[in-house]
Copies of this chain bind each other. A is one copy, B any other.
Amino acid sequence: MNLLAPIERIGRDLRTGGYRRFAWNDADMELREWFAGEAAARGMAYEEDGNGNQVAWWGLDRSAPRPAGVSAPRPAGRDAPRPAGVTAPRPAGVSAPRPAGRDALLLGSHLDSVPDGGAYDGPLGVVSAFAAIDALREDGFAPSRPIAVACFADEEGARFGVACAGSRLASGTLAPERALSLTDRDGRTLAEVMAARGRDPQAVGRAEWLGRIGTFVELHVEQGRSLVHSGDAVGVATSIWPHGRWRLDFTGRADHAGTTPMEDRRDPMPAYAATVVAATSRAASAGARATFGRIAVEPGGANAIPSRVQGWLDARAGDDLALARLLDAVLDDARHAAAAAGVRLEVAVESSSPAVGFDTALRERLAGLLEAPLIPTGAGHDAGVLSASVPTAMLFVRNPTGVSHSPEEHADDADCASGVDALAAVVRELA
């Protein structure tokens, strides 16, 4: 059974087979309705915070006010009728009382995509969380603490450029005024776009519900081949590589491609190109990663020398120092290339995340529970953002090709089912 079948048509580009689910676009709105409907169908209390993060609760009666236009499903909390088997034995290992207001266990991930992204990515974590809850309820499991399922807004940052915007805003690591002034490719600000979807830009910022979370476990498809090599369906993350996104603006002078001698040009394209070549070689020799996946060229005519080339550098490395060294070297290359071409270079940091080591005790406990290998990842996640304030762990589900952020991304149904089983086991262990 394909866990993702219920949402497989939403936001899919039939030409490429990839997904185009970007913050607050039509596909994103349809996914929001789907998530709220899943909460309602399970009698889970539902809320959307001011940043667009969606949360469904099992075992917590939420009566927080809801934003306009978001229908409140019937709340069903700990006092709601339970399925049969309520007296299932409490799992061992959960005895320490938790501080008041930090009692809930959070599951979930995100539903948005990169341009032409794959079907699994974050969505697997959301659907697996609901599926695990269904399985636990069917077994009559009664959690000793509230369980929440979240869908974080704009994890990929595909539209406004800042990855994990929803979790960063909710946890206070992204300033609301900065987020609201971010623009998409059509020049619309996040504030405008949220307002057009009936959301109040004034409500953006730290989210109260996060204060209830004592543990976060995010399940995600693996974006690499570690599990293929180890032969396991499920793994536990050790750490997230430090990573960031820098926009390099090379500004020259538009001119005629036919009549302007090479020596009279101020052409930003060769400067950009030399930077890409240098960054690729530096990242390869450092065992790091550098990618230029997005570019904007003005004016963009085939017979006009560009006036400006904007290139986005995504850089990652195994530790903070290695990343800093890579970035220094690449920006140095870019400055030299710009000077050689007679163009101006400006660099803007769009996002930057230090290395994240997940909670050591938690990851060891889950790896032992699941008999799963511990593996690192180069990808950023909401789990990385929340790990600064909440004990956090990640589970990965095997990806046979390792390919991700592409329509070719895949996970076998059997491995997805193993992911659900693992998540259910984690809930039994922790709740």
Contacts and interface: CB of A to CB of B under 8 A. Distances in A.
A112 to B, nearest CB: 11
A404 B264 CA distance: 13
A377 B259 contact: yes
A143 to B, nearest CB: 33
A134 B289 CA distance: 66
A63 interface: no
A302 B157 contact: yes
A232 interface: no
Contacts of A161: 302
Contacts of A26: none
A256 interface: yes
A242 to B, nearest CB: 10
Nearest to A240: B258
A18 B255 CA distance: 12
Interface stretch (A78-86, A87-95, A305-313): A305-313
A270 to B, nearest CB: 4
A263 B284 contact: yes
As for how many copies of this chain the complex holds, the number is 2
Interface stretch (A52-60, A169-177, A290-298, A412-420): A290-298
Given A253-B408, A258-B289, A270-B277, A303 B314 contact: yes
A156 interface: yes
Given A116-B304, A277-B277, A405 B257 contact: yes
Query: A interface, how many residues as a size bin?
Result: 35 or more
Contacts of A408: 253-254
A274 interface: yes
A260 B402 contact: yes
A379 B270 contact: no
Contact of A277 (B273, B301, B303, B406): B273
Interface of A: 16, 18, 114-117, 156-158, 161, 163, 223-224, 241, 243, 245, 253-264, 267, 269-270, 272-277, 280, 283-284, 287-295, 297-307, 312, 314, 316, 350, 377-380, 402-408
Q: List 9 A-B pairs, minimum CB-CB distance, nearest first.
A: A254-B406, A273-B276, A116-B299, A115-B299, A223-B259, A257-B291, A258-B378, A273-B273, A302-B312
